Structure 1
């Protein structure tokens, strides 16, 4: 892998011509980089449109800028990196900063090994400024449609309100966690407490003095349960399925770095060593109500796209009895929860750490996307009927973390777009046909 501290594919960095300018809602249709595009009309043309100004969209836009392009970046929120601004407060990256930076700009030397949520927010804002990326903010994309049988660009990006942009290249960087998955629980209508998705959780303060059940023990659920417990709440976890748990660090070495080394081995050997490392460092937690997955952490990531739970203290709280573990939820009662083993327990709030979905079909109502079982595109670069489409930030199967994968994909996509643009004939105004 190329160093993330280098520029995009070796391109020389130039200072941005203008800083990131804040836009209010009435300026939501001001185009990217001021004079690069005309104001939005009902029909507008663009060479390259990037949908999303989170890490994936910013990384791809920066790599394109470094290659001399002016991508049009569209973001539905009023800030870059919006999802990071709304994550729970105690969140830190579980991946080391040297493998979490976007192309062309490392994290500051004084940043901790595992950067905080606010540190990532500040980094993304500085990243946009460094590369002169000023997205169109407050613009919701309703659909991406093929322009089959019509002259000009092959794709059309339709904004809320009906405005459309025809584009030769459309980079979809809306994120693997675009919409929360919030299942309806039996009995939820009679439960007297609160039921909310983990997306709404910021800190433990609103739950002071309450009994809280966190449903799901992925990384979000485990860390929220830890946060609640550290702040004195009576906390429990509902865990329906076997889990893969790994320590964030083993003897001072980040597990992320170990996983990258193991992934380079033949799969059978890497899986065996990953399982051995898990069993030695975490052990059997069956006595606490947790079943260990039969599949290795690496194989689970590779085959199912599920990241193991990276432990930063939750397991110790479970072992001490401070966090109770229950099986799956059978139903909510008036005052609490009945579990699949028949036990009932009172709770004041139920937090659903039940994950997210990319929800890509909703963006492509007229296009059949080849999605995997998790709803993710298997390739970053579209082919055949999807020529001109690119998907960055959806590869959740790579070891080393999503930000590392984003950095790699952004460079590949920018390189492919540059190659295609160089080969394309141009109109008189410079737009590729």
Structure 2
């Protein structure tokens, strides 16, 4: 018997679907399947569900959208939660969500490779340690933010101060009195800069490209909610014009602050590229007052500072915080996913049609639509798998049922 035959002999057939990832996307998929009577095994490489939210988010984080836009299928947020739940409240919601749906992820299960085995019509999922699980339906739910993106600027290794990604940033208190270079001007970069400022640090925020900054609310109503309501009746370009006009009245001309807007409107740009507009939570006031300094793109890091693309030098930084986002890790372990994912692990087909691939491959949470997109994906995936589950054939004899692994 050759090595491949030996591996197949040790394979375990998983009844129902196999879901990789126990964040909001994976839990939503498992809950929707459970509601339809389809069993699912959820694999999670870390030691807890919602690991990114629990361990990689800064303390001051709260949902940027009202809670009714962020709830997962089948269970709303508790009524007593505020409009914008904080990080700890969201994690508690995830725990309650898993418990209500009876979802018990298998923790410490790191997937090293998943490939479709045409000889048995199933996906072979190999875990660290060599265990192989076989499934007819593989749901990829590791999401768009699986791994921190850490750019390697020239000279970074010679910098004398601290360098950390926002996944390791918790609170600005430990940077009190320090000059900090924040690389990135998305929602994380803006919020970290504000948090640093409020704890007595002196942040400089790197803005290397155009960015849409919008008010979080207009006249007490969520800007996102207004946009969603208008899109039911008006074309996206017209809604963008309205939102930008209201933003200018509320926030002023952000270009004068070094925050130039893209030519494409915020909603249209989000639809085309996935780039999310920044919702202002107070950062602009600190930029206007000079407490937060806006600087251009970094060309090179020096021992004590940075040299910018425009030739200017910013000196005497005590720390650099990389608010440079996250990346998908799908290309590192998923084989045969070329009809769904690009080489970078992003979806090939735009929302709302990118949730299904060939040979029983599904995705949840890659729609670039946040929790709303993940919920939509989960409902579609559960409905599709349920239709097959009802008319399924008995598992092939080439692999064994879960309790009869050999």
Same fold, judged at TM 0.5 (above):
yes
Note if contact 1:262-1:274 (Cα within 8 Å) is conserved in structure 2.
no
Counterpart residue number, 1:13: none
1:373, distance to aligned residue in structure 2 (A): 8.8
Give 1:225's aligned residue: 193
2:334 aligns to what? 364
Query: Which of 352, 360, 370 is the matching residue for 1:388?
Result: 360
Residue 6 of structure 2 corresponds to which residue in structure 1? none
1:103-252 equivalence runs, <5 A: 103-148=73-118, 150-151=119-120, 153-252=121-220
Structure 2 residue corresponding to 1:426, chosen from 394, 397, 401: 394
Out of 47, 63, 66, the residue aligned to residue 78 of structure 1 is 47
Deviations 1:217-252 (A, max 9, x none): 000111011101011101110100011011111110
Paired residues of 1:146 and 1:367 also in contact (CA < 8 A): no
Q: Which moved more, 1:418-427 or 1:242-251?
A: 418-427
- SS of the aligned residue for 1:91 comes to coil
Q: Which residue matches 1:99? A: 69
Instruction: Answer yes or no: is the 8 Å Cα contact 1:197–1:352 preserved in 2.
Output: yes
Q: Out of 255, 259, 277, which is 1:290 matched to?
A: 259
Deviation at 1:141, TM superposition (A): 0.8
1:263/1:298 contact within 8 Å kept: no
Equivalent of 1:330 in 281, 299, 304: 299
1:61 aligns with 2:33: no
From the superposition, tell whether residues 102 and 389 of structure 1 become closer, same or farther in structure 2 (CA, over 3 Å).
same
The Cα shift of 1:428 comes to 9.4
| Corresponding residue of 1:21 | none
What are the ranges of 5 or more consecutive residues in structure 2 without an aligned counterpart? 1-8
Equivalent of residue 89 in structure 1, options 46, 50, 59: 59
Deviation beyond 3 Å, 4+ runs, structure 1:
369-375, 427-432
Deviation at 1:375, TM superposition (A): 3.7
Question: How many pairs are equivalent?
Answer: 384
Q: Secondary structure of the equivalent of 1:325?
A: strand
Cα drift, residue 175 of structure 1: 1.2
Partners of 2:331 and 2:344 within 8 A in 1:
no
State the superposition RMSD in angstroms. Answer: 2.0
Task: Give the structure, 1 or 2, with the largest relative contact order (CA under 8 Å, sep 6 or more).
Answer: 2
Q: CA deviation at 1:431?
A: 7.0
Query: Shift of residue 189 of structure 1?
Result: 2.2
Contact 1:274 1:298 survives alignment (8 Å):
no
How high is the TM-score relative to the length of structure 1?
A: 0.85
Query: Displacement of 1:421 after TM fit?
Result: 1.3
Residues of 1 paired with 2:331 and 2:88: CA distance?
32
What whole-Å deviation, never above 9, does each CA across 1:144-191 have from its counterpart, x for those lacking one?
10102x12x421111112211110101111011011111111111221
1:277 paired with 2:246, answer: yes
CA distance in 1, matches of 2:30, 2:209: 39
**How far does residue 420 in structure 1 lie from its aligned partner after superposition?**
1.3
Counterpart of 1:259 in structure 2 is: 227
SS at match of 1:177: coil
Cα contact 2:237–2:265 (8 A) shared by 1: no
Distance 1:84 1:336, change over 3 A: same
Task: Kindly indicate whether the alpha-carbon contact (under 8 Å) linking 1:218 and 1:353 is maintained by their aligned counterparts in 2.
Answer: yes
Q: Could you say which residue in structure 2 is the equivalent of 1:315?
A: 284
Cα distance in 2, alignment partners of residues 371 and 169 from structure 1: 17
Structure 1 residue matching 2:164: 3-state secondary structure: strand
Shift of 1:263: 3.0
